[in-house]
Amino acid sequence: MPIKGAIQVMIDTFTADAAVNQFQAIVQSVTDYHATNPAGANAGEFVGITLDSAAAGESVPVVQLGTGWCQAAGAISSGQFVSIANAQGQIQAGGSNIIGIALSTTTAAGDYCLVYISPTPGTNSLKKVSGTTNAASGTQNAYAHGLGYVPTTVLFTPKGNGVVYESQAADATNIYLSASAASINFDAYVG
pLDDT value at 73 more than 70: yes
pLDDT per position as a tens digit, 79-97? 888 999 999 999 999 887 8
User: Where in the chain do CATH 2.40.300 domains reside?
Assistant: 8-117
Instruction: Sort 114 into a burial class: Cβ within 10 Å, 0-12 / 13-18 / 19+.
Output: buried
pTM: 0.64
At the second CATH level, the architecture of 8-117 is Beta Barrel (2.40)
Q: What does the alpha-carbon distance between residue 128 and residue 173 come to, in Å, rounded to a whole number?
A: 14
14 or 132, which is more confident: 14
CB atoms within 10 A of CB 9: 12
3-state helix, strand, coil in the chain (%, to 5): 0, 45, 55
Mean of pLDDT values over 154-160: 76
pLDDT per position as a tens digit, 41-52? 988 889 999 999
> What is the pLDDT, as a whole number, of residue 1?
46
Mean of pLDDT values over 106-132: 78
pLDDT per position as a tens digit, 21-40? 999 999 999 999 999 999 99
